[in-house]
Structure 1
Amino acid sequence: MSELQRKVQETIDQLVESGAETGLQVAVYQDGRQVVDAVAGVDAATGSPITSDTLIYSSSAGKALTSAVVHVLVERGVFGYDTPIAEVWPEFAAKGKDKATIRHALTHTLGTPGVPADTTPDDLVDWDKMVTALADAEPWWEPGTKTGYHAQTFGWLLGETVRRATGRPISQVLKEEVATPLGVADELFLGVPASHLDKVAPLVQVGDPVDLDQLEQWMPTYFKAVPKAVQLSVEMCNRRDYLAADIPAGGTFSARAIAKLYAALLGEVDGVRLISPERLREVSAVAVDGVDEIFGHPTQYALGFGLGRPVENGPDASSVLGWPGAGGSHADMDLSSGTTLALTKTRFSPGDYSAVAAVSDVITKAGASV
């Protein structure tokens, strides 16, 4: 066991033993080689220990899966970043969206950050209903002129574009073009197949749920984009139909599978490289630098990824591309060190990235010894 593996294992064991967490997976790759594969805690449904291949719904950390599919298809010439979405999805041209591009969708500048106000959890699992609503939606701003986090719509916008361009659901494209070549087809999902649903460890609510009424007062624009009925909750995220549906703004996976995906974006891993070095430079450049229309704070996006880690003790934000999940999971790649990090967790603790911070601190202090 390496010193880094030992320190990470000790860290997550302490988090579980203290009651701060219920189940954790951590995976780290450096230069295409896995250097950490650590787990702690138990599956709340079965009482069995969490293992490296346990599947955990990790909400927006799964946006990386959707972005990776898009970049692989751009690499292969299926479409370009500046291809108008309406070129492959004609209905999307409605109400002034004819010039909206794939780049706009990747950078949250498209202007359709909200689902309809009356959307229910049952609607979220109805692909045709959601993409039809988005095609008919009037943008909140002219595409490309402002940015605002497309929390849920990001997935359907890009997912339907992929479906129209390839003739395949995005989950199938992910499996065939990304997960299978990487050898993680049983551990990396947008929609989880029925054969794998029993391998998903349920999320666990510890303490009181978030007070949505109070949160809505603090973030009214966010609740306009994501109505109260479809705010993430343990109940919704544990629904089997929700896990099984293609909702490509989130994903279900093991930490080692998504860490390997990032490693294959960053470089070669097990003989597989998803995109070229030139494409990586394009993907990782700052594409948007402005004030987020949803949250009102300064934000930066690369192509299909956020910049930085949601903790203060991480590496230089400009070199880190990734996505946090609302429940506290996170995965990213650090271009400066050639390192990828993934942490998945079963405790649903919105906005709490203390587990990520603890593990990030261990890795940062390890430095070149990673």
Structure 2
Amino acid sequence: MTTTHRGSTGVSGHTEPQFAGVREAFESNLRNGDDFGASVAVYRHGRLVVDLWGGERDESGMPYPQDALHVGYSVTKGVMGLVLAHLVDTGQVDLDAPVSRYWPEFAAAGKGDIRVRELASHQAGLSAFEEPVTASDLADWDGCVKRLAAQAPAWPPGERHGYHPLTLGYLVGEVIRRATGRTVGTLLRERFDPDGTLQAWIGLPTEHADRVVRYRPAAPTPGIGACMAVADATADSATRAAFHNPEISADLFADPALWVPEIPAGNGVFDARSLARLYSSAVDGPLRSISMTAVDKVRREVVHGPDEVLADQPTRFGTVFALSSPRQPMLGPGSFGADGLGGHIAFAHPESGIAFAFLTTRAVLDPTPHTRLWRLLSAVAAAL
């Protein structure tokens, strides 16, 4: 039995009784101002057990709609990771092969020995474009991948790691394109959405643009993230290079023209229930389409420790996916997924059968984890 109604906080949707605490946490976030408008979805073993949305769409005070879509920012990386995991499963991509096997031009500037797994775990030293790049340049796939193929690494590949906020999508995406002849967005539709019902795109059809809700900024907390702020303001730092060429902020993908091309590190457009359904492809149940063998390959820890780009946030990555860590605990060991600028997150925890997605209109730019997510995940954990 599920419960469905719209409460005083404007929350609609359903929860199975076991997960009633998730609704209470979601309503609390809206009631106390931690969220303006948001949606959360939870699948367990392929069954939708939480599907909630509520609050306000924007400053107009209009209700947050059931069919709201969000630009996912770096949540998009996790969807790209699921596409890559599917290709690992089918044998079309070998994570231990050199990138140059698929993309010969990538071997330039001393990069011939970089393996796909190193490239996909932020170790390649290509966290920023060397040449100046504008936001509109991001729509030029061929131009971006040519720039990156010609670049020399900023550090010895495989020796250190640093978050690749935008370039990872072109790097991994080009390996995928060379291996299959298909783009990441095309494979997302072909491999994960045979019936055409998934509300998830990397490369949004223009007819859905009116459904996209926008971020509203939240003031940063003084003193939090100070180390990264200093690095960001330091000329020639890896942090500044990665986040200011072009400028990465909550406004980067505010232009609907940048929802149309494929930018698979940042411009995917999703609803929460579709994101959770996508991660259910890696969990036992009727939606599984990626074997546990492949899941274990991509969620195996590759790097963990100081991050050259996220200066005050040690990071832990598998292949593409972020793994459970103090920075983003998810549901603990075994969890893998991706969070996005401002507070979005989606992940799977196969051990509990959970696939989780949360999307929000309130952009909190402090380092994670945020209080609102703690509430939601604590409620999920309690239900289990």
Match of 1:67 in 2: 81
Query: Does 2:168 match 1:168?
Result: no
More helix by share: 1
Match of 1:41 in 2: 55
Query: Does 2:257 match 1:241?
Result: yes
Out of 133, 151, 158, which is 1:144 matched to? 158
Out of 177, 182, 204, which is 1:192 matched to? 204
Out of 358, 366, 380, which is 1:343 matched to? 358
Indicate conservation of the 8 Å contact 2:316/2:325, yes or no. Answer: no
Shift of the 135–311 alpha-carbon distance from structure 1 to 2, 3 Å rule, reads closer
Out of 121, 127, 139, which is 2:141 matched to? 127
Task: Provide the aligned C-alpha RMSD in A.
Answer: 2.7
Cα distance in 1 between the residues matched to 2:51 and 2:326: 21
Cα distance in 1 between the residues matched to 2:308 and 2:197: 36
Q: Normalising to structure 2: TM-score of the pair?
A: 0.85
Q: Report the Cα offset of residue 149 of structure 1.
A: 1.3
Cα distance in 1 between the residues matched to 2:327 and 2:115: 32
Moved more, 194-203 or 297-306: 297-306
Q: Report the Cα offset of residue 34 of structure 1.
A: 1.2
Moved more, 81-90 or 229-238: 229-238
Indicate conservation of the 8 Å contact 1:190/1:248, yes or no. Answer: yes
Question: Which residues in structure 2 correspond to 1:87-102 (within 5 Å)?
Answer: 87-102=101-116
Cα distance in 1 between the residues matched to 2:40 and 2:176: 30
Cα distance in 2 between the residues matched to 1:42 and 1:164: 43
Q: How many residues align?
A: 362
Q: Which letter does structure 2 place at the counterpart of 1:223?
A: T
Shift of the 359–222 alpha-carbon distance from structure 1 to 2, 3 Å rule, reads farther
Indicate conservation of the 8 Å contact 1:4/1:363, yes or no. Answer: no
Shift of the 45–82 alpha-carbon distance from structure 1 to 2, 3 Å rule, reads farther
Q: Which letter does structure 1 place at the counterpart of 2:85?
A: H
Out of 175, 190, 203, which is 2:215 matched to? 203
Question: Which residues in structure 2 correspond to 1:1-370 (within 5 Å)?
Answer: 1=3, 2-44=16-58, 48-116=62-130, 118-180=132-194, 184-185=197-198, 187-207=199-219, 216-219=229-232, 220=234, 221-228=237-244, 230-250=246-266, 251-269=268-286, 272-296=287-311, 297-308=313-324, 315-316=331-332, 318-351=333-366, 353-367=370-384
Indicate conservation of the 8 Å contact 1:37/1:52, yes or no. Answer: no
Report the secondary structure of 2:309's partner residue: coil
Q: Report the Cα offset of residue 209 of structure 1.
A: 11
Q: Report the Cα offset of residue 341 of structure 1.
A: 1.4
Shift of the 30–13 alpha-carbon distance from structure 1 to 2, 3 Å rule, reads same
Q: Normalising to structure 1: TM-score of the pair?
A: 0.88
Cα distance in 2 between the residues matched to 1:222 and 1:311: 20
Shift of the 309–257 alpha-carbon distance from structure 1 to 2, 3 Å rule, reads farther
Cα distance in 1 between the residues matched to 2:222 and 2:61: 26
Indicate conservation of the 8 Å contact 1:203/1:347, yes or no. Answer: yes
Shift of the 309–12 alpha-carbon distance from structure 1 to 2, 3 Å rule, reads farther
Match of 2:13 in 1: none
Shift of the 322–131 alpha-carbon distance from structure 1 to 2, 3 Å rule, reads same
| Structure 1 spans left out of the alignment, 5+ residues | none
| Structure 2 spans left out of the alignment, 5+ residues | 4-15
Aligned-pair identity in percent equals 30
Indicate conservation of the 8 Å contact 1:95/1:136, yes or no. Answer: yes
